[in-house]
Amino acid sequence: MKPLTLLVSARDPAAALHLGAICLQAQTDPRFCVRIVAQHPACAMMRGLGLEVTEVPAIRAHEKGDAAAMELINWADRVLALVRPDIMLCGLSSPSDGGIDEALLARCTVPTFMMQDFWGEQNLFFETGADVLFSLDEDALALNVKRWGAHSVVTGSPRHACYGTLDSFALRRQVRHKLGVANGRQLVGFFGQPLQRFTGYRRTLEVFANACRKLAPPADVAYRAHPRETRREMEETRQWFAAAGIRVKVMEECTTEAALAACDVACTVFSNCAYDAAYLNRFSPGPLVVPILMLFDRELLDFYSEIIEISSLPYFSKQLALPVWGETEMFPALVAALGDDTKARLWANARQLPDPSKAIKKVLEALAGSIGQPAK
């Protein structure tokens, strides 16, 4: 039987990691002929996995009728005419703008699927969602039904399937040695996001820095930039740290997993790296890292609350991460996170996360079965 032409599209980092893992396996599956298109930064990340990717310019539309939106629609039409897919799979991308994923969803006339990397979220920039959402777990499925009435299939998390083979403590030792972290010294990580346009982002960093300065005994502080942060934004963040009296160690030449494993505490506003940290804990033979979500700035909290119902997330209901809802809570939370009891508790809680080892197989079976292809 002729293989199905599977068009895969991505633009955000988490999407690249999920879809990259799926594509690597799909390429060896005789049921599929895989064609990939991607925008920055997903394009470089997927090429880094050894995948062949057609790059679409990094166009981001902010209004449905603007010139960028029209250019994206034209790109989508060209891609569809060239590839002539039987099915399309895209990643979840930033809800604040539109890109090639959303344009393809708007123009596709074949069955469409989206791999969610977050609970209950999708980007309807062009007012068209995927026919089927691949969900992380039952919590995500319930949110999809509640928010969108969308058809969902629980697959698990494809990108975390490889975590079962990681030696997290070996990664920890390697990165800490490279950073020059002394034995017995604790390391607090700040995992950035491209949020410099919000004054609340700098306010959040300043509260974080003030809490770090008060730690006794002192801890080292490291900064890991988000893949969508530009060099200018990274330098701006480093300067903010310097102005707040913190000399940061920059974690650049390592994977996100290695950077997280190196840290005793991983602090972020709302990055997906908190979920990665939880999965590192799930597979770690002992307590590893405590993720902290810094949600005390009203401007940033309002921004994210427009996208997702924050209070309902498993981060909190399953206690996979520590939330900080008020500025005065930042220092006590940091002290608690550096303690053995909190580390042990979050490590134990992470053991209830779903096993992701069958996630890619479930995705491929759903794709093949969508138009009557027999499963292997």
Tokens of 127: 């007012």
- Residue 209 and residue 328 share a domain: yes
pLDDT at 14 over 70: yes
Is there a domain that residue 77 lies in? yes
Same domain, 251 and 141: no
Residue 374: pLDDT over 60: no
pLDDT computed for residue 372 by the predictor: 53
Q: Are 95 and 123 in contact (CB under 8 A)?
A: yes
- The predicted pLDDT at position 376 comes to 34
Average pLDDT score over residue span 196-207 = 96
Residue 355 DSSP one-character state: P
pLDDT of residue 306: 86
CATH of the domain at 311: 3.40.50.2000
- Residues 117, 28, single domain; the answer is yes
What are the pLDDT digits (tens) for 270-279?
999 999 999 9
Q: What is the pLDDT of residue 309?
A: 82
Q: Are residues 360 and 326 in the same domain?
A: no
289 has a pLDDT exceeding 50:
yes
pLDDT tops 90 at residue 95? no
Q: How many domains does the chain have?
A: 2
Domain-located, residue 112: yes
pLDDT, mean of residues 167-184: 96
**Mean pLDDT taken over the chain:** 95
Inside any domain, residue 376: no
Please check whether residues 182 and 303 belong to one and the same domain.
yes
Please report whether residue 48 resides in a domain: yes
Structural domain that includes position 141: 4-157+356-369
Give 26's contacts (C-beta < 8 A, 6+ positions apart).
6, 32, 34, 364, 367
Identify whether residues 344 and 364 lie together within a single domain. no
Q: Do 96 and 207 sit in the same domain of this protein?
A: no
- Is 172 found in the same domain as 140? no
pLDDT value at position 370? 83
| Whether the predicted pLDDT of 32 surpasses 90 | yes
**How do residues 41-64 score in pLDDT, each as one tens digit?**
999 999 999 999 999 999 999 999
Partners of residue 98 on adjacent β-strands: 61
Q: Is the pLDDT score of 375 beyond 70?
A: no
Q: Which runs of consecutive H residues, i.e. helices, occur in 84-137?
A: 100-107
188 and 284 share one domain? yes
Residues 183 and 303 in one domain: yes
Mean pLDDT of 189-205: 96
